[in-house]
Structure 1
Amino acid sequence: MIWGSLAAAVTLVASLAAPADALPAPVWMCQDTCGPATATYPVSHDQVPLDTTDVTGGPAPASGPKVDCFYVYPTVDNLPNLVPAASDDEFAQSIAQVGMLLPRCRIFVPVYRQRTLPELALSMITKIPPDYSTGIGDVEQAFQYYWDHDNTDPATGKRRGVVLLGHSQGAAVLEALIQHKFDGKPDMTKYLVSAILLGGKVVVPTGRPDGGGSDPKATFQHVPACQHATDTACVVAYSSMKPGGQTPGSDADIVRVPNDPGHQVLCVNPAALLANAAGPVPLDTILYTRKLVGGNDLNQYGRISGLGQSLTVPNYPTGFARFHGTLTGQCKQATDAGGTVSWLDVVGGDNLVGPPQVNFYGLHALDFNLTAGDLADLIARQAQAWTAGT
């Protein structure tokens, strides 16, 4: 499957050089709000169903002060988006991952010229690192525009806190943005509520939250892993796997640091932060429905059919379906002949997300949805903490 190739390809080191072909101006999918727009999925962007069917009757979601969310979507394009414009497929994937956050924060989603699915598949085969520099340039340009024109609250004249969210290639692009704009820059990190980077590959020294300023192998030197639910200016990162009590296979590059016991891929479970627990904890899973993605009996995945894996897409009249506690999750770490392995170990819900599998992409396409309710509650807690400290 192409998506599995993507999961491996994003683990390769990308070129961070600034692109020579910068856009005249940022192109936005969402700039504060996500509609109306020209695309027709499923009717128009301002009519997307964002309500939720609560299948399991979990606790009410937390509320908190609104902040800004700057989100970068994963690899969606099969063909290069040479003249950037938001496609229905990009919009569907974005709303499926972060639509539940729209009531919680002003959301900003730039369109960027990403490496395509076939390009990343080829990178995996040839072992030639994908060059993300064009996409990095597009996203950094959009973030700078947001920072200069949209971040200041017109009512108070003060800057707003911002949550950075990205998945897969989107997470890799945001890693570069954090390195360039935030890491080691206290005047910027004081506005960073948190960075949620899922399905990428944030590397830390084994047992430490960041590089501490002297570790060139660490992704960040001064932006640490989140260790408590009220920590701010910190990182939540994981790649989800369901290996059924086994260690993910030797080809699971996205969760491995080969031949280096001194470093590991960062795994932070948002549900564990909220519960202040280290062991397996219930996950607040929010899955997209067929209605949200335009699916039907013949193609339940609709606009995101290339990314579905073994998910059974719920068929409800709402945009999302919530399954609180159907799955449990725990960050696990192991060392084998291939190096250190760190992953979010998911158990349960075979009827929803498929049976255990040790293959190299795991539950990559569902990284955001598996803990979506937990992420929303965590952002609310972090936003409250950030607001109290400003």
Structure 2
Amino acid sequence: MIRTLASAAALGMGLLAAGAAQAQTAQAAQAAEPARTDYADKANWLCFPGKANDACAVDLTTTVIKADGSSTIETFKADPKAPIDCFYVYPTVSTDPGVTSDLKADPAELNVVKQQLARFGSKCRIYAPMYRQFTLAALRSMMLGQPLPGSTDPSARQVGYQDVVDAWNHYLTHENKGRGVVLIGHSQGSGVLQRMIPAEVEGKPVQKQLVSALILGSNLPVEAGKDVGQFKTIPLCKSASQTGCAISFVTFRADAPPPAGSRFGKVPQPGMEAACTNPAALGGGTGELKAYLSNNANIAAASQPTPEWVKGKSNPETPFVALPGLITGECVSKDGFNYLSAKIHADPADPRTDVINGDVVNGGQVLADWGLHLIDVNIAMGNLVDVVGQQSKAYLAKAR
């Protein structure tokens, strides 16, 4: 089941990133509006401060493995009194059978917030709504040119966006209370945010409260050589002391850059290019990527076996592993693509693994055009959390 889920995720995650920001078709606008989701009911939230069975209240203990094979244990504790908030929209993970998912949190939704979101709880209070997203089953059908499963109603592809907008407005009305907020998305979730931010944030009073927007694993269009584009008034972040800005990147291995026809790293709009901001070096250049990698089979990249982290030793029992000094990242512009190039500094002479999983694999073949999409967030998690922490301090200093 885990491998099946991973294979499905490999086919589905990110496909909406480019298309989700498009306007509704006239036909969809004329369709009967689906029932709205009640976000006053905490059952419709994955993560919500004080919620019983909060999906973000999970074990994030990490084994930190040095190059010589020695290790230490890093514990984690969320801060319930964090001074800012994070609002998260998750990627395509639903294994429900129809076009859109239900609002029940299945293992796939629970796992993705553990991988991509919960660690931000050291810097912000976390809000993560369930939403009726476009499912993996629907994406597979679309990719194969088959009818969408269970529905021909075009409004089915809009209900997830409306859910997120409703959750956002509920959060602003009842929970925000003037606090700064970070918007976080990956893949389909980033696509939703690319559409929501211009409509619901830019030019609205809440824009003054935007600490930053993390638009991850998605092609965010910016004008060539500039820091704005689809977001007209939210530039790309150039330093961790900058607020009201955006961080966006897609990840490829340094030795496996985007091939011709890649779905990531390029946008179709004339005069535009895909944004790349390196969270390890926002001002440009190369920096160490502080990855938090899953240490069990219950991960998005489970189509590849968990590595032997230290040769000749049993793997640790913690849910995450960190490998300081092993990976660096740099934003690269090459052959019309802009992407975060992740270089693995392998050393066959030391006992630590030289293997980092994260490629999309289908039928035993690596799909090169996806890059390291499955671990876009994991590979830079430590950097992103650090940046959010620094931006929080900068935001609060300005707000005084």
Same-fold call, TM cutoff 0.5: yes
The answer (yes or no) to whether the contact 2:56–2:113 under 8 Å persists in 1 is: no
Give the one of 81, 86, 105 matched to 1:69.
86
The code of the aligned residue for 2:339 comes to W
Out of 254, 278, 293, the position equivalent to 2:264 is 254
Q: Tell me if the contact between 2:14 and 2:92 (Cα under 8 Å) persists in the aligned partners.
A: no
Residue in 1 aligned with 2:12?
Answer: 6
1:37-80, Cα deviation, whole Å (9 max, x unpaired): 6xxxxxxx58631222222389x99x996310111111111224
Look up the SS of the partner of 1:77 in the other structure.
coil
Structure 1 match to 2:343:
347
- Matches of 2:144 and 2:36 in 1, distance apart? 30
Distance 2:90 2:213 in 1: 14
| Partner residue, 1:214 | none
Residues 264-317 of structure 1 deviation map (CA, whole Å, 9 limit, x = unaligned): 1001011012xx4x3222111111222xxxxxxxxx2x2x45x43547366433
CA–CA distance in structure 2, aligned partners of residues 310 and 344 of structure 1? 22
Residue aligning to 1:197: 215
| Alpha-carbon spacing, 1:182–1:317, altered in 2? closer, same or farther (3 Å) | same
Match of residue 371, structure 1, among 365, 374, 380: 380
Change (3 A) 1:311 1:136: farther
Quote the residue 2:319 is aligned against: 319
Q: Which residue of 2 aligns with 1:281?
A: 287
Relative to structure 1, is the Cα distance of residues 182 and 354 closer, same or farther in structure 2, using a 3 angstrom cutoff?
Answer: closer
CA contact (8 A) 1:281 1:328 kept: yes
Aligned-partner Cα distance in 2 for 1:96–1:240? 16
Within the candidate set 135, 145, 170, 2:170 is matched to 145
Displaced runs of 4+ in structure 1, greater than 6 A? 127-131, 354-358
Amino acid at match of 1:272: A
CA offset at residue 29 of structure 1? 0.9
For structure 1, which runs of at least 5 residues remain unmatched after alignment? 38-44, 153-158, 212-218, 291-299
Residue 330 of structure 1: aligned partner: 330
Output the amino acid matched with 2:242. Answer: D
Letter in 1 for 2:212: S
Separation (CA, whole Å) in 2 of partners of 1:67 and 1:89: 27
The share of aligned pairs that are identical, in percent, is 31
Quickly say closer, same or farther: Cα 1:86–1:224, change in 2 above 3 A: same
Q: Which amino acid aligns with 1:369?
A: N
Number of aligned pairs?
Answer: 346
Rounded to whole Å, the distance in 2 between the matches of 1:169 and 1:254 is 13
Q: CA deviation at 1:82?
A: 4.8
Deviations 1:315-347 (A, max 9, x none): 433232222221111000123xxxx21111011
The answer as to whether partners of 1:7 and 1:199 remain within 8 angstroms in 2 is no
Q: Map 1:35-74; keep pairs closer than 5 Å.
A: 35-36=52-53, 45=55, 48-56=58-66, 66-74=83-91
Match for residue 210 of structure 1 among 199, 217, 228: 228
Amino acid at match of 1:381: Q
Contact 1:230 1:381 in 2 (8 A): yes
* Contact 1:8 1:124 (C-alpha < 8 Å) held by counterparts: no
Deviation of 1:8 after TM superposition, in Å, equals: 5.9
CA distance in 1, matches of 2:321, 2:257: 30
Deviations 1:176-208 (A, max 9, x none): 1111111233x2211000000111120001110
Contact 1:33 1:108 survives alignment (8 Å):
no
Cα 1:151/1:324, change in 2 over 3 Å: same
Gaps of 5+ in 2: 1-6, 149-153, 310-314, 347-353, 361-365
Once residues 23 and 13 of structure 2 are traced to their aligned partners in structure 1, the CA distance between those partners, rounded to angstroms, is 19
Contact 1:239 1:367 in 2 (8 A): yes
Q: Over aligned residues, Cα RMSD in angstroms?
A: 3.0
- Give the conservation status (yes or no) of the 8 Å contact 1:239–1:255: yes
* Aligned twin of 2:38: 25
Alignment partner, residue 133 of structure 1: 158
| Letter paired with 1:341 | F
**In structure 2, what residue type is equivalent to 1:136?**
Y
- Partner amino acid, structure 1, of 2:329: G
What is the CA–CA distance in structure 2 between the aligned matches of 1:4 and 1:330, rounded to whole Å? Answer: 24
* Distance in 1 (alpha carbons) for counterparts of 2:340 and 2:90: 20
